Amino acid sequence: MPAACAVKMIHTMLLIHDDLPCMDNDDLRRGKPTNHKVFGEDVAVLAGEALLSFAVEHLALSTVGIEPSRIVRALEELARSIGLEGLVAGFVMDIHSEGLSDVGLEHLEYIHLHKIVALLEWKKKIKRKA
C-alpha cells in the first residue's frame, strides 16, 4: 500500500506541475480550476514538491514487513524512474515539443513513456518483488 500511495502522490505532483503556466498552462483539470489558478503558481510548485518528498518519506517509513535493503532498493528505483532518465526526461521533451508541427508518433511515445509509464513500471516492478 505505501508504494501505491507514493505513486499516487507523485502522479498528482506531475499533474500539478504539468498544468503550470511554464508547462502546459492549463486552467482546468477534470472540469475544475487547476491548483495554480486556485492557490497561485508559487504554492502550486511547492505543493508538487511537498507531494514528491512526502511520497519518498511515506514509502520509506510506512513500508512494514519488508527488509530495509529492499526498501532502499525500491527508493533507488523510484528515484531513477522520476529522475533524469524517467519523468524529468519526458517533461523536457514535452516542453521542447511545444509549438512544433512535425512531432511524430515516436516522439509522442517517448514523452508518454517517460512521463507516465516509467512511474507505473516502477510500481509494477515493486509489486512483483513483494
Q: What pLDDT sits at residue 100?
A: 87
Q: Is the dihedral of CA 68, 70, 72, 74 positive or negative?
A: negative
pTM: 0.84
Angstrom distances, CA of residue 9 to CA of 59, 69, 101, 102: 11, 23, 33, 33
Residue-level pLDDT, tens digit, the chain, 130 residues: 999 999 999 999 999 999 999 998 999 999 999 999 999 999 999 999 999 999 999 999 999 999 999 999 999 989 988 888 888 999 899 888 888 888 889 988 988 888 877 777 776 776 666 5
Which cell numbers in the block locate residue 100? 512544433
d(CA 35, CA 44): 6
Q: What pLDDT sits at residue 27?
A: 97
Q: What pLDDT sits at residue 130?
A: 57
Which cell numbers in the block locate residue 57? 518519506
Number of Cβ atoms within 10 Å of the Cβ of 35: 21
The full DSSP string for 26-66 is -SEETTEE-HHHHH-HHHHHHHHHHHHHHHHHHHHHH--SS
C-alpha Rg value of the chain to the nearest Å: 16
Domains of the chain by start residue, with CATH = 1-129 (1.10.600.10)
Q: Looking at this protein, which amino acid is placed at residue 115?
A: K
Q: What pLDDT sits at residue 67?
A: 94
Q: What pLDDT sits at residue 119?
A: 74
